[in-house]
Amino acid sequence: MQAPIRVYIVAEKDEDFRKLSRILDQFPAFAVVNTFATAGLEPRTFDVRVVHGENLAQLAVLAQERVPTLYLVPHGTVRSNELYAPNAVLASDTPTTQIVAAVMAVAAGLQITYKHDSDLAGNESELSFLEPLTNRELHILNLVADGLSNPEIARRLSISRNTVKFHVSSIISKLQATSRTEAVTIGVKRGLIIV
């Protein structure tokens, strides 16, 4: 069994810290290594830092430290090019599934960039969908990427083939793909699949 991704959360508000902690604690792939009051952990004690805030000076200082980092900022407050070599910058109201996918992508060494190198406000990011994938759909997408057929996925997850077929169709639709292969390609580009 693979060790969980150790996540260190930095948030300006306690409620934002608690929210992010609850999101990540739902997944066995993650282990939140700090409480809101904890400070001074060395970068080698965690794998990924998630920063939630709007104080550009603080964010810029954190960005200079060479630790894989996901920044969650309010729309329009920070341009990705204002942070020194960020791994990912997303809007703070990004859906849970996309935050989870971004943390996994950053931990895997991927950098998430936007289609347009401009303000977050009003621009569609590489991670935005018409409708976000559910946790089950993310899991099935990763199994499809591993080359499993619908019957194999059904056996592995102990669900019916029809249920798998439904989820695969939903994934293809949400990612605006035309096939399973294209859905996997889009999933890799958007950091939804761990390679």
Parse the chain into domains and list their residue ranges: 5-107, 135-189
**Rounded to 5°, angle at Cα 124 from 145 and 47:** 55
Place of tokens 């994938």: 133
Cα–Cα distance, 11 to 106 (Å, whole number): 18
On whether the CB atoms of residues 89 and 78 are closer than 8 A, the answer is yes
Q: What is the pLDDT of residue 45?
A: 81
pLDDT digits (tens, 9 = 90+) for 169-184: 988 888 888 889 888 8
Amino acid at 169: S
CATH match for 5-107 among 3.40.1160.10, 2.60.40.10, 3.40.640.10, 3.40.50.2300: 3.40.50.2300
Beta pairing partners, 30? 5
Among 8-12, 66-70, 75-79, 166-170, which is the least confidently predicted range? 75-79
CATH match for 135-189 among 1.10.540.10, 1.10.10.10, 2.40.70.10, 3.20.20.370: 1.10.10.10
Global pTM reads 0.55
Place of tokens 């889009």: 186
